[in-house]
Amino acid sequence: MSKKKRKSTENNNKGKGTREDEKPRSFSSSGGDFRSPGPVQMSPHNIDDEFYNNNNNGKKKKKASSSSTSSKAPMKDSDDRVYFDPVKTTAYFEDVENAFKVDVVDEPSSAYAPKHSALSWTDVIRDGFKTVTAEDCAHWLFFPHPTNIFQSRIFERKCFVRKQSETSKGGYEDLLTSEDIKTWLKEKKLTYGTNVDVTSYKDGVRRTHNSNDGFSNVSKIADFDTVTKRFEEDGCSVRVLHPQRWSDKLWALLSNLENFWQSPTGCNAYWTPANSQGFAPHWDDIDAFVLQIEGKKRWRLYPTRDVSEKFPRFSSKEFSEDERKRLEETKYVEVILEPGDVMYMPRGTIHEAFCITGGGNDDDDDDGQKDEASLHLTISVNQRNTFADILEHAFSDALADAVSTNVELRRCPPRDFLRNLTRLDETDVNFLTSKKLLERCCNVVVENMMKNNVFAGSVEKLLGNLMRERVRPPKAHTRLTKASLGAKPSITSKIGLVQKNCASLEDCDDGIVRLRTYINNDRKLHMEGASADILDEDAYREASSCMKIDPEIEGDDLDALATVLYANYEDGVEVKDFPFDTDEEKMAFARRLLETNAFCVL
């Protein structure tokens, strides 16, 4: 079945979505926890109005007409996020220091009421997130903002902190505790470099202590007594990577968040002794939600140094002591997180964190809290999830396709072509002529890609990667029931996906179309498993594959698979409507679908 036909099938079955239309509430901001060597501009909630007033001589920028068809007109998504607006993006992000803001609200997490559950949020956590939707879990992280307000005014734009109210200081101890980490160490579940890192940051130097006997023990089981000694006596921090492998609640939470973000979602736990720090200043290649569970941590957030470092695709090296001193000369912001507080940091935010006690000063010893350690959880989303990552794949395939179909791209360039392009002189005729010819070649590639939808194959590969990397969901998050688990299909049965968007098709290089799903993925390999850097070519090709179809000899099977895969999720497809000639063929294909575990009887 051709990509064109599959796309047509998908469009015919696609249901109309709805968009959240809640109005933003107004909140009071509190700057009591913030200190800075210079004036820090706190962010009001009407950031759009403020920004436009400052950059348009007091005149608010008019919205672009919806009827505009210009290729350079700004574009909006369903969450009101704006793309390619030269005022709202370029100017805003280039003014990196003056635009550095932190949005603070006082609102306890316990005040959040899930839309799709009668339980309180505290009970939702204790119940293991079994009764809430992906939207509920995501909204809980950035509550009290509605989804579209968070996405359009905060996400990628500024840090956001939600402080617990004074009357509600409960933390997230139902998600994870330091006792859990001690138990995993005692049970020898943590391996150096894979599941756990022991680190320190003292006198401007960051060190890793992944050893039991003084020698490197990477890939060796971490010893409980050794790690405890380093934590209690040497002031080392303990970072547990991917604790969702052993925590059912974290597993369920991340499964829901992956459904919301449509991106692999991970988490690490950071256990830090009092009055110590485990990592030097750095930035990460993910959007981070920090949940403070135990103790207190003082976070120092620094403005982006240069627009080239905004939204980085890769994490930075840890900053040197000289770089750290230069950061301290900027208009940075400090915030103290206590149990129950949440902080969002956009990808690329330069940060460092120090465990404090008492009233917030490093040397305080209030009420015997000198030795109180800190534990926080960092939930990470959107790693390698950018336009650049999509284009990196799409342009590679587009160039290969254009070269195979356009003879001009296979011709030799003029003899002086390369030398002329090195002139970089806009007044030189030879430079301009060669530059124009190069531009023509680039246009041929892009026009061919868009005209023939060459990007479809690249998108399939990226979706295939998503299927490999996502975590298998708990059964409570699927449409599987006791009845459906043992149900045998009949000719009138409806077949549908066990979870929305849980599978995708990929037309592979060997000519076989594979159905990929994360439903069968090994939970213990989440955020590590099927990487092309780890697996050989054959193993990578088969990872998360649950059905293989040869379109040359199984064309009807591919048509039937696309019919079910792209059907309206709520309705599914009746077996009798499968595109086969006989009921026997329809029933046989229905059984084949159920064997993948990605489909069920509705």
Fold of the 472-601 domain? Outer Surface Protein A; domain 3 (3.90.930)
Peptide bond into 144 cis (omega under 30): yes
Amino acid (one-letter) located at 5: K
Give yes or no on whether 178-381 and 472-601 have one common fold. Answer: no
How many other C-beta atoms can be found within 10 angstroms of the C-beta atom of residue 160?
24
Quick check: helix, strand or coil at residue 355? strand
**pLDDT one-digit tens code per residue, 436-455:** 999 999 999 999 999 999 99
- Among 136-140, 165-169, 274-278, 346-350, where is mean pLDDT lowest? 165-169
The model's pTM is 0.83
In sequence order, what DSSP letters do the residues of 22-76 get, joined into one string? Answer: PPPP------TT---SS---PPPS-HHHHHHHHHTTTPPPPPPPTT---TTS-EE
Quick check: helix, strand or coil at residue 351? strand
- On the question of pLDDT at 45 being above 50, the answer is no
Q: CA-to-CA distance for 84 and 90, rounded, in angstroms? A: 8
Within its chain, how far is the Cα of 302 from the centroid?
A: 22
Q: CA-to-CA distance for 204 and 225, rounded, in angstroms? A: 27
**Alpha helices by DSSP H, 309-386:** 321-327
Fold of the 178-381 domain? Jelly Rolls (2.60.120)
Q: Which tokens hold the place of 495?
A: 């077949």
Helix (H) or strand (E) holding 272: strand 266-272
**pLDDT one-digit tens code per residue, 365-399:** 445 445 799 999 999 999 999 999 999 999 999 99
- On the question of pLDDT at 42 being above 80, the answer is no
CA 442 vs CA 372, 405, 439, 503: distances in Å:
60, 14, 5, 34
- Average pLDDT (549-560) is 89
583-595 vs 555-565: helix axis angle to the nearest 10?
A: 60
Q: CA-to-CA distance for 296 and 375, rounded, in angstroms? A: 8
Question: pLDDT band at residue 36, thresholds of 50, 70 and 90?
Answer: very low
**pLDDT one-digit tens code per residue, 8-24:** 444 444 443 333 343 33
Q: CA-to-CA distance for 485 and 498, rounded, in angstroms? A: 11
Q: CA-to-CA distance for 57 and 40, rounded, in angstroms? A: 23
CA 336 vs CA 237, 270, 354: distances in Å:
18, 16, 9
Quick check: helix, strand or coil at residue 211? coil
Q: Name the more confident of 478 and 31.
A: 478
In sequence order, what DSSP letters do the residues of 284-305 get, joined into one string? Answer: -SSEEEEEEEESEEEEEEE--S
Residue 556 has phi, psi (to 5 degrees) of -65, -35
- Residue indicated by tokens 């005729």: 429
Quick check: helix, strand or coil at residue 252? helix
- Identify the pLDDT of residue 222: 95
- Strands (E) across 350-502 are located at 350-356, 374-381, 494-497
Q: Which residues contact 576 (CB under 8 A, 6 or more apart)?
A: 491, 492, 583, 586
Question: pLDDT band at residue 526, thresholds of 50, 70 and 90?
Answer: confident
- Average pLDDT (90-114) is 65
For the chain, the residue count is: 602
Q: CA-to-CA distance for 469 and 392, rounded, in angstroms? A: 19
For the chain, what are the domain ranges?
A: 17-62+71-163, 178-381, 387-453, 472-601
**pLDDT one-digit tens code per residue, 496-509:** 999 999 999 999 98
**pLDDT one-digit tens code per residue, 181-233:** 999 999 999 999 999 999 999 999 999 999 997 666 667 999 999 999 999 99
Q: CA-to-CA distance for 385 and 230, rounded, in angstroms? A: 37
- Among 77-86, 339-348, 454-463, where is mean pLDDT lowest? 77-86
